[in-house]
Amino acid sequence: MEAVKENKEAPPVTNRDRAVAKQEFIDSLLEGCSTEEDLFGPEGAFTKLKGAVMERLLEAEITEHLGHEKQGRRRSSNARNGHSTKTVQTDSGPVEIRVPRDREGTFDPKLVKKHQRRLEGFDEKVIALYARGMTTRDIQQHLRELYGTDVSPELISRATDGVLEEFRAWQTRPLDPVYPIVYLDALYVSVREGGQVTKRAFYVALGVTVDGTRDVLGFWVAASEGAKFWLSILTELKNRGVHDILFVCADGLSGFGQAIEAAFPKAVHQTCGVHLIRSALRFVSWSDRKLVTGALRPVYNAENEQAAELALEQAGRLLDGRYPSVVRTFRNRWTEFVPFLSYPPELRRMLYTTNAVESLNSQLRKTLRQRGPFPNDEAVFKLLFLAIRNAKVHWKRPVAWTRMLVQLDIFFEGRLPA
């Protein structure tokens, strides 16, 4: 009689078995952990688990590279050759791992590449802190306190230097052929130059696209703000694909109108009304400023240019000749001040002031203010670029933009893209 063959196959693994094994693994991991530091600190269970997982994956990589398991039959002359120790920076802190080596030195790990000291996510975290105006020393202290990571300022600088290549590509990117509105302004930043700290003018061009969104067209730097340099900026915008601009809104820089006319002859130059009022108030005593601003209010709230003329004459009579420079300031810039009066209220609000770019500059200054003098222009560009990436998250197109676009299409027939 033939003996019954014993069934030596293992029973199938059930969901209950998996749950028990998972619980046992968690219990062993948490054994001896009584505080948050025991779990997530530099020597905590979570850090050790992360290191163990990375080492396991690296062992799998070298097995695939060599074609045989450890102690297995070799398929080539190459074989394992011990391990090297390295510390890699991760989002939760530094992790020390053992990286396997091979005799021929041909093993190139994919998980933690040769000479790599940071895993994905570390640079992004450093860049996010840098973009909020923290210095490299601040970031170093922050990472040490929060993650137990001791990172040198040089390592942080290298992490953020990668942004420069992205900035250069962004600065030379092609632009839209038409922008309904472009705001131009400059802000001054302290930069070290030749052993001295000087104020450098960083130029900003903010465009409103045809779909109503805002887009920073670029940053530029010069020793001071001037019409000649603005012309070079406008020429660069043309070379990057801008064929037409309907309105260019800027402050009262002398010669700016000629620069705009040379580059975009059909563009309407609108001087910022707020800048003009500030300029008019330069020689007004503090005690009279409320009176003067009240007298000027009917000028910029007028229904049209003729009404604004009458309101300016009335303001002169109201001031009784005490401040002739106020009326004279408006007269000297009248042709650049009044264009917005020819358009409906929705458009007036966008044209009358450079608030859009002033608001952006305010955010940029807030970021820059937390830093001391910058070592060079590139350091400023790097921080400005990161700051506008953060600012874009909060930008929204005007609620009435569709109606304004219809109005622009009527006023500037044939100049907006179909």
pLDDT tens digits along 280-318? 888 888 888 898 899 999 998 999 999 999 999 998 888
Judged against a pLDDT cut of 80, whether residue 70 lies above it is answered with no
pLDDT tens digits along 336-361? 899 999 999 889 888 888 777 777 87
* pTM exceeding the 0.85 threshold for the entire prediction: no
pLDDT for the residue numbered 410: 94
Phi-psi map region of 194: left, alpha, beta (phi>0 left; psi -120 to 50 alpha) = left
pLDDT tens digits along 172-198? 999 999 999 999 888 888 888 777 888
pLDDT tens digits along 118-144? 655 555 555 555 555 555 666 666 555
pLDDT for the residue numbered 2: 45
pLDDT for the residue numbered 130: 56
The average confidence (pLDDT) of the chain is 78
Given a contact cutoff of 8 angstroms between Cβ atoms, the answer to whether 241 and 176 are in contact is: yes
pLDDT for the residue numbered 406: 93
Q: Average the pLDDT over 256-266 and give the result.
A: 88
pLDDT tens digits along 384-417? 887 887 777 667 788 889 999 999 999 999 999 8
Radius of gyration of the chain (CA): 32
pLDDT for the residue numbered 157: 63
Amino acid residing at 18: R
pLDDT tens digits along 95-117? 777 888 888 888 887 666 776 66
pLDDT for the residue numbered 91: 58
